[in-house]
């Protein structure tokens, strides 16, 4: 997701307020405007709310292990590395709990505030601060499974009663009766023969 920057225009107004105390905010004051200098950032942050989609995502407050290289370049500050996250959600077939871990690859250029962006959606520094939360939110959603499954061969739920077919693979309702005959199900026709029925009708 690396972007490029050009100089010339006034910086845009930030769309969100960056909290310097956040564990997902990196201070780059010692690197800014010193191209070639770099530092390592290794920390465990707490996952913010809304890091995922309805079916699966990163549980709020769960650990996000960051292993990053922060490097000053001519246009801004380049961030590369990984974020290890835990995922939790529901299987798209049987609705059982799905849990896993994911490694999110990060490569993003944060342009200096006085640089024009080729892409209006590109990232930029907020003063000397890098706010990783919007980037992490986008990368997690892109990396999530489209249809999370508890296992590759999940059998899903019984369409008739909702039973979990993984727990009861022999689950069966037998041959379904034709609903048009349902009214005759409780009718007692006795044990007589057709001739006996006819004789009774003649009487």
Q: Between 106 and 3, name the one with better pLDDT.
A: 106
Confidence of residue 140 (pLDDT cuts 50, 70, 90): very high
Indicate if the pLDDT at residue 114 is higher than 90: no
Q: What is the rounded average pLDDT for all residues in the chain?
A: 82
The whole-number average pLDDT for the span 194-200 is 52
The share of the chain scoring above pLDDT 90, in percent, equals 52
Average pLDDT over residues 40-67: 94
pLDDT over 70 for what percent of the chain? 77
Among the residue ranges 80-89, 112-121, 135-144, the one predicted with the least confidence is 112-121
When comparing pLDDT for 49 and 199, which is higher? 49
Comparing 49 with 35, the larger pLDDT belongs to 49
For 136, list phi and psi in degrees, rounded to 5.
-60, -40
Instruction: Say what the pLDDT of residue 26 is.
Output: 93
Q: Does pLDDT of 181 surpass 60?
A: no
pTM: 0.71
pLDDT at 61: 95
pLDDT at residue 185 is higher than 70: no
């Amino acid at each position: 997701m690396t972007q490029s920057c050009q100089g010339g225009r006034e910086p845009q107004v930030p769309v969100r307020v960056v909290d310097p105390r956040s564990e997902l905010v990196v201070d780059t004051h010692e690197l800014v405007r010193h191209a070639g200098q770099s530092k390592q950032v290794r920390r465990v942050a707490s996952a913010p709310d809304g890091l995922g989609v309805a079916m699966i995502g990163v549980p709020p407050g769960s650990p996000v292990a960051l292993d990053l290289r922060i490097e000053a370049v001519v246009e801004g500050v380049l961030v590369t590395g990984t974020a290890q996250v835990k995922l939790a959600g529901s299987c798209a077939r049987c609705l059982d709990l799905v849990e896993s871990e994911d490694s999110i690859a990060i490569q993003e250029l944060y342009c200096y505030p006085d640089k024009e962006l080729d892409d209006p959606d590109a990232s930029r520094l907020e003063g000397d601060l890098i706010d990783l939360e919007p980037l992490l939110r986008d990368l997690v959603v892109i990396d999530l499974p489209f249809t999370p499954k508890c296992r590759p061969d999940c059998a899903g739920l019984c369409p008739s009663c909702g039973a979990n077919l993984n727990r009861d693979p022999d689950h069966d309702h037998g041959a379904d009766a034709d609903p048009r005959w349902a009214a005759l199900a409780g009718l007692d026709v006795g044990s007589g023969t057709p001739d006996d029925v006819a004789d009774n009708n003649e009487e």
